[in-house]
Amino acid sequence: MRKHSRRFQEILQKVERSKLYKPIDAISLLQGLSNVKFIETIEAHIVLGLDPKYADQQLRSTFILPKGTGKKIKIAVIAKDEQISQSLREEVDIIGSEDLIQEIKNGRLDFDKLIATPDIMPLIAKLGKILGPRGLMPSPKAGTVTTNLYDTVKQFRLGKLEYRVDRSGIVHVPFGKLNFSSEDLMINLIALYNSIDKNRPAGSKGKYWKSMYLSTTMGPSLPIDFLLMKENII
């Protein structure tokens, strides 16, 4: 049986575990329960009626959090020299061409997001074993392979996120920090809900939404009445 710390046990006493919370109430409660010395991330864990082993039931997409992520990400860009403008250099943290590919091959991985142009992807392909396991391999589905480098970088700076369903049919997505206002977190959560709903795979049959939980880095998990979001009741 899993043992919880005294801190966590005290938090659990303030939670109605059999209750389906209104989304805004759950967010406010998680904010009030946080008692650690850092700003926690809040996440949504959504169980969908999908079986990802079938190609037509896979879910992978991107969306922009209207109120941002609350996290500064380090962005790297790989493109041919003639595609690298001064304005792009000013927006990214790391930029290069074949030289940066070689640096990554030699072990450089000090970035959170890697964006590349389609024409240089054949050279990046050989880095698959390095980038793939870390979730850093550029991909068109993730919006990280593009000819519009400047706008793509700006979108990720503003809070663009990728999500995908895991093997169990669950989507796990962070949607802000607990020091955001509860209203701003709710706006981000609605954007996530709408994106998942809009991108329902063609092979999805029967009940698509099964359950939703909200949790924080060090806090409890609260079940949400997601039907209220569909009815635009927050």
Q: The pTM is what?
A: 0.81
Q: How far is CA 197 from each of CA 28, 56, 192, rounded to the nearest angstrom? A: 24, 15, 9
Over its length of 234 residues, how does the chain's per-residue pLDDT go in tens digits?
456 667 666 666 667 777 898 999 999 999 988 888 899 999 999 999 999 999 999 999 999 999 999 988 999 999 998 889 899 999 999 999 999 999 999 999 999 999 999 999 999 999 999 999 998 999 998 899 999 999 999 999 989 999 999 999 999 999 999 999 999 999 999 999 999 999 999 999 889 999 999 999 988 889 999 988 876 645
- Model confidence pLDDT, tens digit, residues 54-88: 999 999 999 999 999 998 899 999 999 888 989 99
Domain assignments of the chain as residue spans, ordered by start:
17-69+160-230, 75-157
Look at residue 31 in the predicted model and tell me its pLDDT: 94
Contact call for residues 159 and 67 (beta carbons, < 8 A): yes
At the fourth CATH level, which superfamily is domain 75-157? Answer: Ribosomal protein L1/L10, domain II (3.40.50.790)
| Single-letter amino acid code for the residue at 70 | G
| Single-letter amino acid code for the residue at 82 | E
Question: Strand, coil or helix: what is 212?
Answer: strand
At the fourth CATH level, which superfamily is domain 17-69+160-230? Answer: Ribosomal protein L1/L10, rRNA-binding domain (3.30.190.20)
Contact call for residues 209 and 49 (beta carbons, < 8 A): yes
Look at residue 14 in the predicted model and tell me its pLDDT: 64
Phi and psi at 114, nearest 5°, equal -120, 125
Distance CA(63)–CA(153), nearest Å, equals: 14
Phi and psi at 139, nearest 5°, equal -150, 140
DSSP 86-111: HHHHHH-SEEESHHHHHHHHTT----
Look at residue 18 in the predicted model and tell me its pLDDT: 73
Look at residue 32 in the predicted model and tell me its pLDDT: 87
